[in-house]
Amino acid sequence: MAEEAGKLRLDKWLWFARFFKTRTLAATRVAAGDVRINGTRVTKRSVTVSPGDVLTFAIGTHVRVIEVAALGVRRGPAPEAQTLYVDRSPPRPVRETPVPQNPGYEGKGRPTKKDRRQADLSRTRHLE
């Protein structure tokens, strides 16, 4: 299949640029209408992108605004993939609420092996 000069399928480019783990995941997100090219919502996987196009899509709770800088010829390592685009995304908001710690361990994070043994012993004594 010959590609048009200076154009590449959207799902393939998203996969080359490592925004999605598989090409199928990229194609599914495009088909669901979750991706916009230059502000226009697209639902066809075969839509082509070229350098200068701006893609907008959400990954998790973060909205990504990506300008296509180059077309790839393969899915290479991450440093190579980062040369394919310019990230124009707004900065992520600073998390104001602290991450909750495990209860009962006084903010120490994950329980130690000793803590787990004591918890197991207290549970088995409770069942007897």
Per-residue pLDDT tens over the stretch 8-37: 999 999 999 999 999 999 999 999 999 999
**Residue 28: is it exposed, middle or buried by C-beta count within 10 angstroms (0-12/13-18/19+)?**
middle
Q: Is 41 helix (H, G, I), strand (E, B) or coil?
A: strand
Domain annotation covers residue 95: no
Q: Tell me which residue range forms the domain holding 41.
A: 8-87
Q: Angle at the Cα of 108 (from 102 to 113), degrees rounded to 5?
A: 85
Distance CA 86, CA 99 (A): 31
Answer yes or no: is 100 within a domain. no
Distance (Å, whole) CA 40 – CA 10: 13
Q: Is residue 48 part of a domain?
A: yes
CATH number of the domain enclosing 16: 3.10.290.10
- Structure-block tokens of residue 65: 């605004």
Number of domains in the chain: 1
| Percent of the chain residues topping a pLDDT of 90 | 55
Q: pLDDT by residue (tens digit) across 98-127?
A: 665 555 555 567 888 888 888 888 877 666
